[in-house]
A and B are shown apart, each in its own frame.
Chain A
Amino acid sequence: MTEDVEMKELPSNSLLSSSTPSTLHHLKEIASLIETGAHAREVRRILRAVRLTMALRRKLKAPVLSAFLNFVLTPGSDVHARLNSFLPMEDDNEMEIDTVSSVAQLPVKHSLPEIEIYCYLLVLIFLIDKKKYDEAKACSSASIARVKNVNRRTVDVLASRLYFYYSLCYELTGDLAEIRGNLLALHRIATLRHDELGQETLLNLLLRNYLHYNLYDQAEKLRSKAPRFEAHSNQQFCRYLFYLGKIRTIQLEYTDAKESLLQAARKAPVAALGFRVQCNKWAIIVRLLLGEIPERTVFMQKGMEKALRPYFELTNAVRIGDLELFKSVAEKFSGTFSLDRTHNLIVRLRHNVIRTGLRNISISYSRISLADVAKKLRLDSANPVADAESIVAKAIRDGAIDATLDHANGWMVSKETGDIYSTNEPQMAFNSRIAFCLNMHNEAVRALRFPPNSHKEKESAEKRRERQQQEQELAKHIAEEDDDEF
């Protein structure tokens, strides 16, 4: 593999025993990886480079970064000066040792745009990790300006990471509204350049921006008009599904919302615990709003028990159908709910609690007076019997319960539920499951990826001769066989 060959070429710097050189060593490997990727126009290598960088994130330190910048960029260039100004000056000793060693190495300095953008990215990640948000903001704005001028597919991967961190540092300082115009302009540029990964990332960042300020209307308008295509990155697709689910929930389209949210929770990588917790919280509420009770196992997933505890108690209250309990739970955890911004949705749940209570009553009693219904539901209002009557009437109309009302005598008579297997219900349920499995199979087949150039190796002259020889032998063999058969 070519990557292995490159590693051997770089003279190992492990003469110095401290850990910093090995990080520097890795960074140099990554830089050469990016270079080869840029020259061969292979996006895969750049992807690999980014992944390796993420692994190194914890070990980045200022002197290492300065040494790396000196190695990779021509010192004295604009870029170099700007980036160096962001890095704090630390121990001079360490820097000197590293610079000595790097000079001894005949550094390769092509100053490709990819390398520049990569350096920006590295410095940005470092600043964010060190919580230096103002400098991060300045660095990211500079990098965005640079990216606008470069139009290469190989830069796309790095650029999309840059956009993400750009948005992140503004969000951490609470200034998201400022960059909305910029993000929209970048999205336009990405669309013009057919940069699909960039489009995806930017769309997600824009949706996040709008949803941060609760501007669901505008988010939906953007989402419905933006061009859609096959997802390039699993993580971006998960995020998109989550935002879509949120928008649909607010717009009262619970079935679509449930599908999106559950899919997002399933596709998310196991390491993304916080994201999955959020998805699950919203998914639980949507299921409650749809009238179904999520199973206990949902709340007992590894690592999520504590976070989902308020929702567990809420589900309990809805399941029992007790309005008083529901109110007390909602008040008890109102802080958590406001933080998750699910407060308005919880208010909508009141209606579901009443419905569930009614359903329980209608199943348990064949005939019950409306005054008793009102008492059981604990409706606290001026005229409970009349309220109960109209609520029951509406529930019957919506098909939630199967009963009739008798106004003169003031009672509710439940109907017998017939044998369900004599209807079409089982067939419908079966059909939906079959459709789901088939769909998943199709998607899995479509998602198969083969390494792009494996079948395109040019045959050398020798190989061609060999192959032709083999074919001739085979043809002779078949001809002989035919003769034999006769």
Chain B
Amino acid sequence: MDPKLTEVSQRFDRFKAAITRKDYDSCTELLSHLKVLLTSFRSLPPLFENTPNAIHELTLARDIYEHAVLLSVKIEDQDAFERDFFQLKPYYTDAGSRLPGSPNEYMILGLNLLRLLVQNRIAEFHTELELLSSTALQNPCIKHAVELEQSFMEGAYNRVLSAKQNVPHETYGYFMDLLAKTVRDEIAGCSEKAYDYLSINDARQMLLFTSDKELLQYIEEEHPEWEIKNGSVFFQKAKGAAPCKEIPSLQLINQTLSYARELERIV
């Protein structure tokens, strides 16, 4: 075997051992070494040359990047996740025909979809979804992310939160926690508009706090305009009620000026 290849494989084994030990600092160090070593292989993207060891090198590089992605979830670094995922993607798409399928492929794709959902990049979520074939869409990891997005769009937030119980893989836990926080903000926003008032107990249940104290703290920090009286939370809703008696003069002026301008242009 190629000496460079053996060196990379050895470091990779050390890297995998460090992950199981949960020694994240040495992991990151080893990872950067590995990435530098990978640049010397000519069969990897963007060159894609056909060297004799190509398949072996490609598989090895793909494994390294997959582990890098999982590491970034463990150290909770979303930027690193994005970078590593983008580097991993060509292995699935362009080189996919030459390599045997990776067992982790769908799990990582599902993880990426979930990340886009949490960061509220719904347009990119759907663009990514278009790239998946129909067999991919049947896979439980990906189905989980798609159903989550649907429930989120419809507003059935309790379904989102209950989905937390049945994650297809433990690495999803980190993103589900972030999602829970986003959901809580959404529920608060919706309740504000939909309800006149809520009793403290109900509010606590809906916003998923375990004690009244947490609820009160949350209200103080995020929604100071809510009033708390007689054991109920009153949402300010008096504003929108009265019909606006003012004339939007600036808008009217702009409109009329544009009409005049266009009419003058007609010869």
Contact = CB atoms under 8 A, between A and B. Distances in A.
- 10 closest cross-chain pairs (CB), A and B: A394-B155, A393-B190, A393-B194, A251-B123, A396-B194, A438-B262, A397-B190, A397-B193, A387-B156, A391-B155
A354 B155 CA distance: 11
B236 to A, nearest CB: 14
B134 A386 contact: no
B102 interface: no
A350 B150 contact: yes
B159 A407 contact: no
A216 B127 contact: yes
Contacts of A403: 194
A185 interface: no
Interface in B140-159: 146, 150, 153-159
21 contacts: A214-B131, A216-B127, A250-B126, A250-B130, A251-B127, A252-B122, A252-B126, A344-B129, A347-B150, A387-B158, A390-B155, A390-B187, A393-B155, A393-B191, A394-B190, A397-B190, A404-B195, A406-B196, A407-B202, A427-B252, A442-B265
Interface of A: 214-217, 250-253, 338, 344, 347-348, 350-351, 354, 379, 381-383, 386-387, 390-397, 403-408, 418, 422-424, 427, 431, 434-435, 438, 441-442
Contact of B123 (A252, A387, A441): A252
A397 B156 contact: no
Interface in B110-166: 122-124, 126-127, 129-131, 134, 146, 150, 153-159, 162
Interface in B240-267: 243, 248, 252, 255, 258-259, 262, 265-266
Contact of A214 (B130, B162, B193, B258): B130
Contacts of A394: 154-155, 186, 190
A396 B156 contact: no
Interface of B: 122-124, 126-127, 129-131, 134, 146, 150, 153-159, 162, 186-187, 189-196, 198-199, 202, 243, 248, 252, 255, 258-259, 262, 265-266
A338 B193 CA distance: 39
Contacts of A250: 123, 126-127, 130
A387 B154 CA distance: 10
B87 to A, nearest CB: 16
Contacts of B195: 393, 404-407
Given A250-B127, A387-B159, A438-B262, A354 B194 contact: no
Contacts of A392: 155, 194
Contacts of A338: 134
Nearest to A431: B255
Contact of B150 (A215, A351, A407): A351
Given A251-B123, A404-B195, A418-B243, A396 B190 contact: yes
Contacts of B199: 407-408
Given A387-B158, A391-B155, A404 B194 contact: yes
B127 A217 contact: yes
Given A344-B129, A405-B195, A386 B158 contact: yes
A391 B156 contact: yes
Contacts of B202: 407-408
Contacts of B189: 397
Given A250-B127, A251-B123, A441-B266, A354 B158 contact: no
B154 A354 contact: yes
Nearest to B162: A382
Given A390-B155, A390-B158, A396-B194, 11 more contacts: A217-B124, A252-B122, A252-B123, A344-B129, A382-B162, A393-B194, A404-B195, A424-B248, A427-B252, A434-B259, A442-B262
Contacts of A217: 124, 127
Contact of B126 (A344, A382, A404, A423): A344
A452 to B, nearest CB: 22
